[in-house]
Amino acid sequence: MLKGLLTEREKEVLRTLLSQRGITRYSLFDVCAEGTSLPGSTYPLEIESMSGKVITSKEVYSFWLDWIDDHYTLGEEDGFWKRCNVEELYDGTQIRQIQQQLQAGKED
């Protein structure tokens, strides 16, 4: 991440991993850089480990982008990739607003 924004390579990696799960319309939320450069970076922190939430029109998932066993992962191996109950999240109201925008076909 650069200055709090995803790099183009990070966007590409996340887009690829999410599309493999059938997720093509989403919004990333509460993304936090975790400070480790991952393989595939052409400069320091071009592709960085990060955590956050993936919001779709109907679901919310937590993730941790990392490199495990020679591939990128959203945290499946470590239990970080999981469906979240919006009602149990402190930022549930904001997440529901994002879901409504996705349902209406609006992009962030």
pLDDT digits (tens, 9 = 90+) for 16-72: 999 999 999 999 999 999 888 999 988 888 999 999 999 999 999 999 999 999 999
How far apart are alpha carbons 90 and 79 in whole angstroms? Answer: 20
User: Confidence class of residue 98 from pLDDT cuts 50, 70 and 90?
Assistant: very high
CA dist 94 to 16, 47, 79, 102, Å?
26, 27, 25, 13
Using alpha carbons, select from 8, 22, 5, 90 the residue that is nearest to residue 59. Answer: 22
How far apart are alpha carbons 52 and 29 in whole angstroms? Answer: 6
**For the chain, domain boundaries:** 8-103
How far apart are alpha carbons 106 and 17 in whole angstroms? Answer: 22
pLDDT of residue 75: 95
User: Confidence class of residue 107 from pLDDT cuts 50, 70 and 90?
Assistant: low
